[in-house]
Amino acid sequence: MAIRLSENFRALFYAPFYATHATGAFTEAGVDVVLVPSPSPPAAVKALLAGEVDVMWGGPLRVMMSRDSDPRSDLVCFCDVVARDPFFIIGATPRPHFRFANLKGLRFATVSEVPTPWICLADDLRRTGVDPVALAPIADRTMEENEAALRAGTLDAVHLFQPHAERLLASGAGHLWYAAATRGRTAYTTLVTRRGVLERHHDELLKMTRAVHRTLGWFARTPASEIADRLRDYFPDVAPTVFAGAIERYRALGLWGSDPVIHREGYDRLHSAMRAAGALRRDIAFEECVDTKLAEQAMS
């Protein structure tokens, strides 16, 4: 049977997921996977819970929140891909010795589209003694709007992902202040399913995980320009040089893990940030939300 895989939303840091299709890795692993578009992360979770798809990719944040609101939730993460935070702080002027305290008093815009980037950045701020609320960040604009505002000089700094960051850096309109991936492991994007599906379709999901593992290896050794060329149909509006630059920057930061095993260290970092932000009412154990058996099998 075909496994229905729900896209979370279209984003460049999800490139390995698209590459499993573009390189034929799923087919070569012996599993038929159909990619199902989704308008938003909440919609993908809803489709998974309704049985409209079998697997989605998304943040462990969604799995923890589901478990927090309903202890009977059977959502489970089983294959790691994005092992670090893909967001950046880009400033209008060079600041080679940037500190989070430098954001005080600036016109600083954060991400409005999804919650995880700000939850993680706010945790970074707190750990260095900066009150996130006191910054009064602008939080009601899209990353597209914030990129344009930085170019126009109406913002001093923006928080966004690729290719927005790469376009600003390549044009000289922006300067890299902070790459969130440098904080270390943060469980950002995994394959997610329901425990019943994990049991019923063990063989298919094992093959999927093997395909992802193979693709992560391909990503690590393939020239960025070739990756950009292979995936251009998924991002037709991104210039090839910007696409390749974004891939190269992410790769240098170790954004994508070398294997599909979800690490407790990354989970704990995200969990801690969510607790500090009030996004979780209680502690959610790693074992409640993560199953590493398939990933470990895939590597053996």
> How confident is the model at residue 75, as a pLDDT?
97
* 122 CB-near residues (< 8 Å, 6+ apart): 132, 273, 276, 277
Pair (26, 168) in one structural domain: no
pLDDT of 56 reads 96
Choosing from 166, 183, 200, the residue where a domain stops is 183
Per-residue pLDDT, 42: 87
For residue 235, the domain's CATH number is 3.40.190.10
Could you tell me if 236 and 282 lie in one domain? yes
Q: Please tell me the predicted confidence (pLDDT) of residue 217.
A: 95
Mean pLDDT, consecutive 10-residue segments, the chain of 300 residues? 91 96 95 92 91 95 95 96 98 97 97 96 97 95 98 98 98 98 97 96 97 96 97 96 98 96 97 97 97 94
Whether 134 and 52 map to the same domain: the answer is no
Of the residues 125, 150, 183, the one at which a domain ends: 183
- pTM over the 0.85 mark: yes
CA gap 239, 207 in Å, rounded: 33
189 in the same domain as 170:
no
Strand order in the sheet with 175-179: 108-109, 157-160, 88-91, 175-179
Identity of the residue numbered 151: R
Residues 259 and 141 in one domain: no
- Do 266 and 195 lie in one domain? The reply is yes
| Single-letter amino acid code for the residue at 201 | H
Do 179 and 233 have their domain in common? no
Instruction: Please indicate, yes or no, whether residues 216 and 291 belong to a single structural domain of this protein.
Output: yes
Question: Which of 168, 183, 198 is the last residue in one of the domains?
Answer: 183
Same domain, 161 and 293: no
Q: For residues 2 and 31, give the distance between their C-alpha atoms in angstroms, rounded to a whole number.
A: 7
116 and 259 both lie in a single domain: no
Res 300: pLDDT: 83
> Domain count of the chain?
2
| Residues 78, 194 share a domain | yes
Residues 285 and 190 in one domain: yes
d(CA 292, CA 259): 11
Domain span holding position 156: 88-183
- The pLDDT value recorded for residue 285 is 97
